[in-house]
């Protein structure tokens, strides 16, 4: 995954993963699982065969430009299969009771990848592959919580008619990729199972934490997931060079604790996170530390550092109104 190289100056660079591996090299109390590539059949749980073949055809090619953001180097196909497979390895270890929680530190990220389209640095939708894979292993209801600063258009679209996958996203809005309005709630049998919290630029810890407590936690509790997946992006950190939110490690700790709480209540503690975006190296290290601490059950007393909650009520009112037919909020 370090060998995937979208080109000089690209923010989704190998150093993102390298700093995390270096930082955690001597960390005590972690079980290191060996990644494996996702199989073509596993990828085809959520992607078309034609899409898998299109990405596969880049293997060994010097440089294939899908769009200005999404560029494959000779090793990108293998890296993308390992990224999806790493999360599967974590899920398998959790299902086998070898570990209780897992964090797949991977690149390329996944949540923008659509069923048949690469997009926004993403080739295969890692978290979607895992949610579908869990379905094949007898897990019926999966909640995906995505706090990356960008809306996970691919994940939403893949599951928007599926009543058994709850997709929850907090994201800067309006912003790339343009989807993620509060009124996008899922379709058909999946109505109500897409929960979008579109945030204006500038929201910090206080707004994120309050939104989790007033909306995300109550909806997840009523959904009663049997497994929790987290699309953990750290580009909503106030240090991130691409986006304009103001979350600090205290905010990530609180969100991660909320997710582990849900997992404990209805999913036997089963929770797996996967790295999405995050382009400031210090923010990545601090954010991953905060999530790992929450997964280990470390009590966290640090209060929100940023945010005043002033513009939050309007956002939450829109979300409540869009979801009134589906949840008690």
Query: Closest distance between Zn ion and the C-beta of residue 236, in Å?
Result: 8
Of the two residues 42 and 148, which places its CB atom closer to Zn ion in the complex?
A: 148
Query: Closest distance between Zn ion and the C-beta of residue 151, in Å?
Result: 9
Query: Closest distance between Zn ion and the C-beta of residue 302, in Å?
Result: 24
Which residue in the block uniquely carries the two structure tokens 């592959």? 129
**Closest residue to Zn ion in the complex (CB):** 277
Please give the torsion angle defined by the CA atoms of residues 185, 287, 229 and 36, in that order, rounded to the nearest 10 degrees.
130
Please give the torsion angle defined by the CA atoms of residues 45, 50, 51 and 52, in that order, rounded to the nearest 10 degrees.
70
What are the start-end ranges of the E strands in 55-183? Answer: 64-65, 71-72, 101-104, 142-146, 165-172
Of the two residues 134 and 275, which places its CB atom closer to Zn ion in the complex?
A: 275
User: What are the φ/ψ torsions at residue 89 (nearest 5 degrees)?
Assistant: -60, -40
Residues ≥6 apart with Cβ < 8 Å to 32: none
**CA-to-CA distance for 105 and 253, rounded, in angstroms?**
17
Query: Closest distance between Zn ion and the C-beta of residue 130, in Å?
Result: 18
* Strand bridging mode 194-199 / 227-232: unpaired
Residues ≥6 apart with Cβ < 8 Å to 222: 327, 328
Query: Closest distance between Zn ion and the C-beta of residue 241, in Å?
Result: 12
Of the two residues 94 and 145, which places its CB atom closer to Zn ion in the complex?
A: 145
User: Would you tell me how many other CB atoms lie within 10 Å of the CB of residue 214?
Assistant: 16
Structure tokens at 114: 């659509």
Which one of the listed residues 112, 150, 151, 157 is annotated catalytic?
Answer: 112
Of the two residues 5 and 235, which places its CB atom closer to Zn ion in the complex?
A: 235
Active site residue 112: yes
- Site residues for Zn ion per CB under 5 A: 148, 150, 233, 235, 277
Of the two residues 150 and 323, which places its CB atom closer to Zn ion in the complex?
A: 150
**67 close to 119: Cβ distance less than 8 angstroms:** yes
Of the two residues 29 and 241, which places its CB atom closer to Zn ion in the complex?
A: 241
Query: Closest distance between Zn ion and the C-beta of residue 91, in Å?
Result: 22
Structure tokens at 124: 């295969």
What are the start-end ranges of the E strands in 147-304? Answer: 165-172, 194-199, 227-232, 271-275
Residues catalogued as catalytic: 112
């Amino acid at each position: 995954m370090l060998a995937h190289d979208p080109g000089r100056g690209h923010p989704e660079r190998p150093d993102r993963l390298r700093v995390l591996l270096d930082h955690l090299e001597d960390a005590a109390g972690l079980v290191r699982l060996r990644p494996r590539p996702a199989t073509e059949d596993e990828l085809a749980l959520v992607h078309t065969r034609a899409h898998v073949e299109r990405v596969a055809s880049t293997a060994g090619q010097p440089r294939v430009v899908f769009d200005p953001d999404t560029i494959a180097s000779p090793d990108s196909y293998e890296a993308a299969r390992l990224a999806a497979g790493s999360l599967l390895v974590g899920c398998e270890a959790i299902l086998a009771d070898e570990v209780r929680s897992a964090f797949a530190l991977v690149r390329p990220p996944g949540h923008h990848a659509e069923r048949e389209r690469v997009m926004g640095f993403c080739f295969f939708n890692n978290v979607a592959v895992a949610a579908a894979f869990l379905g094949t292993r007898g897990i019926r209801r999966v909640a995906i919580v995505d706090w990356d600063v960008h809306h996970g258009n691919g994940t939403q679209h893949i599951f928007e008619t599926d009543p058994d996958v709850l997709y929850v996203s907090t994201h800067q809005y309006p912003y790339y990729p343009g989807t993620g309005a509060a009124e996008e709630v899922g379709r058909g049998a999946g109505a109500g199972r897409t929960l979008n919290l579109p945030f204006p630029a500038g929201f910090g810890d206080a707004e994120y934490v309050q939104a989790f407590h007033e909306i995300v936690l109550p909806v997840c509790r009523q959904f009663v997931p049997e497994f929790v997946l987290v699309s953990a992006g750290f580009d909503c950190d106030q240090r991130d060079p691409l986006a304009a939110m103001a979350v600090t490690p205290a905010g990530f700790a609180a969100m991660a604790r909320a997710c582990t709480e849900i997992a404990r209540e209805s999913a036997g503690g089963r929770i797996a996170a996967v790295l999405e975006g995050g382009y400031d190296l210090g923010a990545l290290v601090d954010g991953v530390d905060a999530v790992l601490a929450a997964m280990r059950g470390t009590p966290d007393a640090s209060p929100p550092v940023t945010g005043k909650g002033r513009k939050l009520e309007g956002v939450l009112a829109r979300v409540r109104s869009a979801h009134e037919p589906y949840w008690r909020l």
